């Protein structure tokens, strides 16, 4: 039996002591936290193999707790077992939808099952669910820190890819959870989005259906699969259908550009592992470079080919901040390129739901976006 490092988060001291004694007798190491926020700190600091948590926390709700766990690179794939006094099946289902790995109730007969699961799961790595050898190429964009302009960047790069590969079909997929932003950014106001598609029967999700249903955004040239319109819709997302949806998109489109934002959930990890290129977007702050490094190290720990990682700096907020050389020193490896600050031009284009690259083609920032987009596609072709 392999010993595990286990974090128990529970406001009830009796439960914590009982689990600690029981688990330590079986050779495991146990760390305890009474509050949810304290549990998050311990989880990110100590990186346990398994987290056991009572979702009824006194300082943070169950959804926010698991959301923070899944969105941080250090704990995104850590198994989290809910151990609750709530016997309602709907509550258990809700926890699983939110991202908890398993759900057990605090009953005597549940203890052997809980112990067996703890000893079986460990830090399981996800298995890719996609066939990477056939179909369109998947280009993923993500960041370790918010506020670095990923959404603006990804819309302009998707447009640039279409401009560069005029005969190609390009679809932009918004997988930022719990609330997508790309629809608003490009002026799309209809009801087709990732949650409505995932609610459909699998047999209806054909390449022909995707081509006929997804809107081609005027002025941007790409097709759009919009993200979740509300956090409530995101909670109900049929995430197990996402690999099937991407497989279908790859049969119809030449390039699937995916905006993940800061999301490192079970679903996004499958997409990342299947991607042909992973663009890691850094800001100009030291914290952004440090978090980007943490994400990169985590992805390499999942045995992702380092050649697929494509880090860039996006000067989304101004000229100040780290230089490329300074960022590389913190990041620990080469940064492929830097998007210069475009000032009011980028903001104006965003406000008018237009591509900055097409609106200001002679701007230095636009020309750099074009060069980086071309280099990304050439990198993908070399990796074939």
Residue 259, token pair as written in the block: 């905006």
Which pLDDT does position 316 carry in this prediction? 61
Is the separation of the CB atoms in 147 and 166 below 8 Å?
no
Q: Where in the sequence is the domain holding 56, given as residue range(s)?
A: 5-121
Which pLDDT does position 107 carry in this prediction? 85
- What share of the chain in percent tops pLDDT 90? 47
Question: Residue 269: is its pLDDT beyond 70?
Answer: yes
User: Span 368-373, mean pLDDT?
Assistant: 93
Nearest to 140 by CA among 312, 316, 276: 276
With the CA atoms of 197, 203, 204 and 205 taken in that order, what torsion angle do they form, in degrees rounded to the nearest 10? 50
Any bridge partners for residue 277, and if so which?
Answer: 139
Any bridge partners for residue 52, and if so which?
Answer: 8, 81
The verdict on 21 and 141 lying in the same domain is no
* Residue 299 to residue 310: CA distance in whole angstroms: 12
* Residue 291 to residue 280: CA distance in whole angstroms: 11
301 within some domain: yes
The verdict on 313 and 236 lying in the same domain is yes
165 within some domain: yes
Which pLDDT does position 124 carry in this prediction? 43
* Residue 185 to residue 21: CA distance in whole angstroms: 53
* Residue 290 to residue 37: CA distance in whole angstroms: 22
User: Span 297-325, mean pLDDT?
Assistant: 83
Residue 251, token pair as written in the block: 């049969």
User: Span 211-216, mean pLDDT?
Assistant: 94
Residue 316, token pair as written in the block: 């989304």
Which pLDDT does position 126 carry in this prediction? 44
66 within some domain: yes
**Residue of 315 and 58 predicted with greater confidence:** 58
Which pLDDT does position 125 carry in this prediction? 44
131 within some domain: no
Q: Domain ends where: 88, 121, 154?
A: 121
Q: Please, is 144 exposed, middle or buried when counting C-beta atoms within 10 Å of its C-beta (0-12, 13-18, 19+)?
A: buried
- pLDDT tens for each residue of 77-112: 788 999 999 988 888 888 887 888 889 999 878 888
Q: Please, is 281 exposed, middle or buried when counting C-beta atoms within 10 Å of its C-beta (0-12, 13-18, 19+)?
A: buried
Indicate the number of domains in the chain.
Answer: 2
Which pLDDT does position 112 carry in this prediction? 87
CATH no. for residue 293? 3.40.50.300
32 within some domain: yes
Contacts of 288 by beta carbon, 8 Å cutoff, 6+ apart: 143, 144, 145, 148, 282
- pLDDT tens for each residue of 318-363: 667 788 899 889 888 899 989 888 777 777 787 777 888 888 888 8
The verdict on 214 and 335 lying in the same domain is yes
Question: Positive or negative, the Cα torsion across 245, 246, 250, 254?
Answer: positive
* Residue 133 to residue 233: CA distance in whole angstroms: 33
The verdict on 244 and 369 lying in the same domain is yes
Which pLDDT does position 307 carry in this prediction? 93
Give the Cα-Cα-Cα angle 202, 269, 180 (nearest 5 degrees).
Answer: 70
CATH no. for residue 51? 3.40.50.2300
In this prediction, residue 127 has a pLDDT band, given cuts at 50, 70 and 90, of very low
User: Span 216-225, mean pLDDT?
Assistant: 92
In this prediction, residue 121 has a pLDDT band, given cuts at 50, 70 and 90, of low
Is the separation of the CB atoms in 96 and 69 below 8 Å?
no
Q: Domain ends where: 121, 153, 176?
A: 121
Question: Residue 71: is its pLDDT beyond 80?
Answer: no
In this prediction, residue 1 has a pLDDT band, given cuts at 50, 70 and 90, of low
């Amino acid at each position: 039996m392999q010993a595990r490092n286990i974090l128990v988060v529970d406001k009830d001291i009796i439960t914590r002591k009982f689990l600690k004694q029981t688990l330590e007798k079986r050779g495991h190491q146990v760390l305890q936290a009474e509050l949810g926020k304290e549990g998050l700190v311990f989880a990110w600091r100590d990186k346990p193999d398994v987290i056991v948590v009572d979702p009824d926390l006194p300082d943070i709700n169950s959804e926010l707790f698991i959301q923070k766990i899944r969105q941080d690179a250090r704990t995104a794939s850590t198994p989290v077992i809910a151990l609750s006094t709530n016997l309602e099946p709907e509550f258990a289902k809700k926890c699983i939808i939110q991202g908890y790995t398993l759900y057990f109730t605090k009953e005597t007969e549940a203890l052997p099952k809980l112990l067996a699961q703890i000893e079986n799961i460990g830090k399981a790595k996800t298995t890719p669910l996609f066939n990477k050898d056939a179909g369109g190429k998947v280009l993923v964009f993500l960041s370790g820190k918010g506020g670095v302009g990923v959404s603006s960047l990804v819309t302009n790069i998707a447009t640039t890819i279409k401009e560069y590969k005029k005969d190609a079909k390009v679809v932009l997929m918004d997988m930022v959870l719990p609330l997508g932003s790309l629809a608003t950014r490009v002026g799309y106001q209809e009801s087709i989005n990732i949650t409505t598609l995932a609610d459909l029967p699998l047999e209806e999700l054909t390449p022909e259906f995707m081509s006929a249903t997804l809107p081609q955004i005027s002025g941007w040239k790409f097709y759009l699969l919009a993200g979740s319109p509300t956090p409530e819709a995101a909670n109900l997302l049929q995430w197990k259908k996402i690999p099937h949806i991407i497989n279908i998109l790859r049969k119809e489109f030449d390039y699937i550009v995916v905006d993940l934002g800061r999301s490192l959930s079970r679903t996004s990890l499958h997409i990342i592992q299947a991607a042909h290129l992973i663009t890691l977007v850094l800001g100009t702050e030291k914290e952004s470079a440090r978090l980007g490094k943490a994400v990169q190290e985590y992805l390499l720990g999942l045995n992702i080919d380092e050649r697929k990682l494509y880090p860039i700096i996006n000067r989304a907020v101004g000229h100040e901040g780290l230089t490329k050389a300074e960022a590389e020193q913190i990041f620990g490896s080469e940064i492929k390129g830097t998007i210069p600050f475009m000032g009011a031009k980028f903001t104006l284009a965003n406000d008018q739901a237009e591509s900055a690259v097409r609106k200001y083609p002679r701007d230095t920032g636009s020309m750099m976006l074009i060069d980086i987009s071309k280099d990304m596609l050439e990198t993908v072709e070399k990796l074939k």
